[in-house]
């Protein structure tokens, strides 16, 4: 008995010895014939960009939309010739919005890509922050928190939640819905997202002598009736939301049900077209959403072009993630082209090119972006929009791209 077990153990050890170890696996680097330095994720014919998205978890609709936007961009970019004569290839993995899955999948995808065109989910981004810095991989997270800007490898396409909130409050004041000295409520999710939005409303409040009644919730809380009851008791003249769409629905419904009926302002992720079919639909007229990327249905030429291409290629119901994913692609395209001009398609080259990108145009899908000042949001302009069941994508905008003077003065947390 002993002998057979020893024999088995020996066999295992021998097999292991026979299999080759991974010694000698080296990275790919060097330069090509035209003198362009290449690194991970770059071959003679292709540049690979990573997509770590949610295809199966709670944000799969958004993830799908953004991914499809990325794919549409890649197709167009390649048709126009690509970068340095190379075509863009997208390597997609699904982490299901779980930080631990993302953490394990990351080492699998990282060696294959030059950078990331999509990194969805703030828990995922938080978990991978260190890794991105260590591996010097530029990534475009689908998260707009200015807290992320302390990492020079993070590329936020659009403005951040705090600036959105400032612009939005300025819009409400401009419309005469709030005035100096009022009390407003701000319901926010405890986390990167919510705290960042709160920072914006606190800044604006100080400038205009507003009192902010802050209510912290978690992302799984679904019933905000008690919260709105409390806000009503405090006499708020407006409610700001940095919440999930479901929570937005509960808040606007309570706003109407309790007879409060004040204007409600939400950051860009607070709205989802599905709300128009929920019992809260009748209360959505009080909601204004601010975002730096256009709604799917915007009647801008590029947005229409993307919408048409989308409908030709995919059959799912579109959402705002599509034009956003396309816009991120366009920014990557500009960075790739610049890196090509600098003859450096390595990770360092991309980071350097990003810093040199002072003005990227996405044909108004997103406001003009400037990545040259680390720690600062790339733009401070937003659209203001309101839910509209008749519009494709569920919103129509009520004020095109604008930037409030308070937003210009605002200093983001990592701004130098």
3-state DSSP call for residue 165?
A: helix
* Torsion of the alpha carbons at 68, 70, 75 and 81, rounded to the nearest 10: 180
Residues 324-383 contacting another protein, CB under 8 A:
none
Integer-rounded Cα Rg, in Å, for the chain is: 24
Q: What is the DSSP letter of 368?
A: -
The CB-of-193 to another protein minimum distance in angstroms stands at: 8
The CB-of-315 to another protein minimum distance in angstroms stands at: 10
Q: Is 401 in the site for another protein (CB under 8 A)?
A: no
Contact 229, 258 (CB under 8 A): yes
The CB-of-183 to another protein minimum distance in angstroms stands at: 15
The whole-angstrom separation of Cα 301 and Cα 272 is 23
Q: For residues 105 and 382, which CB has a smaller minimum distance to another protein in the complex?
A: 105
Q: For residues 231 and 289, which CB has a smaller minimum distance to another protein in the complex?
A: 231
Pairing of strands 382-387, 287-291: antiparallel
**What does the per-residue mask of binding to another protein show for 96-115, with x meaning CB under 8 A?**
x-xxxx-xxxxxxx------
Q: How far is CA 403 from CA 142, 170, 175, 298, in A?
A: 22, 9, 15, 19
Instruction: Output the six-digit token pair for 70.
Output: 């990325």
The CB-of-122 to another protein minimum distance in angstroms stands at: 9
The CB-of-63 to another protein minimum distance in angstroms stands at: 9
**What does the per-residue mask of binding to another protein show for 52-91, with x meaning CB under 8 A?**
---xxxx-xx--x---------------------------
Contact 297, 393 (CB under 8 A): yes
Residues in the chain: 416
Which residue in the set 220, 261, 358, 359 belongs to the binding site for another protein (CB under 8 A)?
220
Contact 102, 36 (CB under 8 A): no
Q: For residues 216 and 399, which CB has a smaller minimum distance to another protein in the complex?
A: 216
> What string of DSSP letters covers 272-298?
-GGGGGSGGGGGGGGEEEEESB--TT-
Contacts of 197 (CB under 8 A, 6+ apart): 161, 162, 164, 165, 186, 188, 240, 242, 267
Residues 178-207 contacting another protein, CB under 8 A:
190-192, 194-196
Q: Is 239 in the site for another protein (CB under 8 A)?
A: no
Q: Is 232 in the site for another protein (CB under 8 A)?
A: yes
Q: Is 12 in the site for another protein (CB under 8 A)?
A: yes
Residue showing tokens 């419309």: 175
Which residue in the set 139, 205, 215, 336 belongs to the binding site for another protein (CB under 8 A)?
215
The CB-of-156 to another protein minimum distance in angstroms stands at: 15
Q: For residues 59 and 383, which CB has a smaller minimum distance to another protein in the complex?
A: 59
Q: What is the DSSP letter of 156?
A: -
The whole-angstrom separation of Cα 312 and Cα 320 is 17
Q: For residues 222 and 358, which CB has a smaller minimum distance to another protein in the complex?
A: 222
**What does the per-residue mask of binding to another protein show for 127-166, with x meaning CB under 8 A?**
x-xxx--x------------x-------------------
Alpha helices in 110-224 (DSSP H): 122-135, 161-174, 192-208
Residues 245-284 contacting another protein, CB under 8 A:
246-247, 249-251, 253-254, 257-259, 274, 278-280, 282
Q: Is 219 in the site for another protein (CB under 8 A)?
A: yes
């Amino acid at each position: 008995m002993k002998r057979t077990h020893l024999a088995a153990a020996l066999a295992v050890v021998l097999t292991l010895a026979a299999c080759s170890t991974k010694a000698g696996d080296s990275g790919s680097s060097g330069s090509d014939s035209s003198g362009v330095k290449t690194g991970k994720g770059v071959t003679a014919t292709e540049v690979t960009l990573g997509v770590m998205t949610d295809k199966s978890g709670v944000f799969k609709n958004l993830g799908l939309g953004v991914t499809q936007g990325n794919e549409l961009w890649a197709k167009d970019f390649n048709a126009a010739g690509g970068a340095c004569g190379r075509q863009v290839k997208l390597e997609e993995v699904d982490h299901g919005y779980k930080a631990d899955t993302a953490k394990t999948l990351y080492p699998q995808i990282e060696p294959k890509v030059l950078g990331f065109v999509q990194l969805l989910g703030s828990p995922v981004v938080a978990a991978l922050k260190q890794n991105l810095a260590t591996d010097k991989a530029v990534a475009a997270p689908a998260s707009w928190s200015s807290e992320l800007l302390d990492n020079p490898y993070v590329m936020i396409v659009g403005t951040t939640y705090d600036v959105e909130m400032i612009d939005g409050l300025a819009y409400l004041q401009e419309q005469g819905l709030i005035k100096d000295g009022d009390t407003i409520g701000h319901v926010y999710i405890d986390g990167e997202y919510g705290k960042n939005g709160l920072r914006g409303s606190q800044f604006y409040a100080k400038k205009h002598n507003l009192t902010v009644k802050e209510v912290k919730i978690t992302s799984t809380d679904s019933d905000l009736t008690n919260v709105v009851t409390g806000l009503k008791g405090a006499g708020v003249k407006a409610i700001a939301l940095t919440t999930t769409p479901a929570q937005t629905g509960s808040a606007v419904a309570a706003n109407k049900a309790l007879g409060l009926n004040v204007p409600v302002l939400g950051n860009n992720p607070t709205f989802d077209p599905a709300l128009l079919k929920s019992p809260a639909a009748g209360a959505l007229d009080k909601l204004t959403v601010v975002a730096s990327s256009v709604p799917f249905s915007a009647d801008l030429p590029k947005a229409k072009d993307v919408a048409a291409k989308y409908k030709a290629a995919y059959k799912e119901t579109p959402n705002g993630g599509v034009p956003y994913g396309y816009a991120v692609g366009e920014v990557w395209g500009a960075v790739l082209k610049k890196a090509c001009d600098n003859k450096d398609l390595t990770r360092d080259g991309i980071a350097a090119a990003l810093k040199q990108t002072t003005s990227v145009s996405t044909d108004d899908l997103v406001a003009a972006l400037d990545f040259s000042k680390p720690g600062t949001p790339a733009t401070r302009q937003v659209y203001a929009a309101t839910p509209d069941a008749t519009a494709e994508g569920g919103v129509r905008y009520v004020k095109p791209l604008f930037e409030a003077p308070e937003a210009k003065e605002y200093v983001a947390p990592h701004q130098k």
